[in-house]
Amino acid sequence: TQSTRPQRLLHAVQKNATKGDPRSVVKAIDNFCRQKEWAMNVGDEKGCILDSVVSEVNPVTVLELGTYCGYSTVRIASLLPPRAKIITLEFNPDYAKIARQVIAWAGLEDKIQVVEGPSGEWIPKMKEQFGVKTFDLVFLDHWKDRYLPDTKLLEDCGLLRKGTILLADNVICPGTPDYLEYVRNSPRYKSQYFKSHLEYTKAEDGLEKSVFLG
Ligand SMILES: O=C(NC/C=C/[C@H]1O[C@@H](n2cnc3c(NCCO)ncnc32)[C@H](O)[C@@H]1O)c1cc(-c2ccc(F)cc2)cc(O)c1O
Ligand SMILES: [Mg+2]
């Protein structure tokens, strides 16, 4: 039977990356996407902005919405301090299966918890199921029309604290207009746009970094 693109991406990691070396996993995926097949990873250009935000925030508890193949999960986790954790939500079981193997190849299982299921169901359970008080950093990279409802859900569930950083991918392409309007106009956020390019292309895209003011 024909393999899927995530399966081919995983094979490229297992073939070209060094087991236990997260940065070589990131490199192998970027090379695969540049040379073989485009895939919707945040990519190396926007990835550098992601790295700088993660390093600046130095988060202990991170939430990622939309794991896909685990590229940004590995990229973030590789920068986390020893006891820090990232919980990543993925509702497609096939993608979750691939992501777990990419994460295992990077040797980052101890820092990453892949939770299978829709964000709408799992966000309200974060406190009771995972002992999360609040998140220090949230990376939004799932369906673009879910960024706003899930942000409001995070607020309502008391999972954001004064200073929590929301970092959103694709605010230009494919675009998240309702989310952008909200974080840029709400008195509860201080928002900043980081102009970049759509992964592996010359098209404009960017990340929006928003600080929750409480
Ligand atoms: O569409 C894009 N990303 C979506 C990611 C979805 C992943 O997240 C998972 N997911 C979705 N909703 C939820 C959910 N909750 C919501 C539903 O309950 N709960 C849990 N997991 C969820 C999916 O299963 C996927 O694994 C994109 C497109 C382009 C693009 C740009 C230009 C082009 F021409 C083409 C494509 C570039 C990008 O960087 C992009 O991120
Ligand atoms: Mg994206």
Note if the pTM is more than 0.80. yes
For position 206, what pLDDT does the model report?
Answer: 98
Are 52 and 80 in contact, with CB atoms under 8 Å apart?
Answer: no
Task: Say yes or no to pLDDT of 188 above 90.
Answer: yes
- Which of 90, 150, 169, 208 is catalytic? The answer is 169
Neighbours of ion ligand 2 (CB under 5 A): 141, 169-170
* 31 noted as active-site residue: no
**Average pLDDT, stretch 165-193?**
98
Residue 8 scores a pLDDT above 90? yes
Indicate the average pLDDT of the chain. 98
Q: Is 24 in the pocket of ligand 1 (CB under 6 A)?
A: no
Question: Given 41, 170, 208, 209, which residue is catalytic?
Answer: 170
pLDDT of residue 1: 79
Q: What is the ipTM of this complex?
A: 0.99
R_g of the chain computed on alpha carbons = 16
pLDDT, mean of residues 7-26: 98
Known active-site residue 170: yes
CA distances 123 to 9, 159, 167, 174, 198, Å, are 29, 9, 17, 24, 28
146 lines ligand 1 (CB under 6 A): yes
Distance CA 21, CA 15 (A): 13
Cβ 102 vs Cβ 71: under 8 Å = yes
Question: Is 44 noted as a catalytic residue in this protein?
Answer: no
Is 95 near ligand 1, meaning CB less than 6 Å away?
A: yes
Q: Please choose, from the candidates 196, 61, 31, the residue with its C-alpha nearest in 3D space to the C-alpha of residue 138.
A: 61
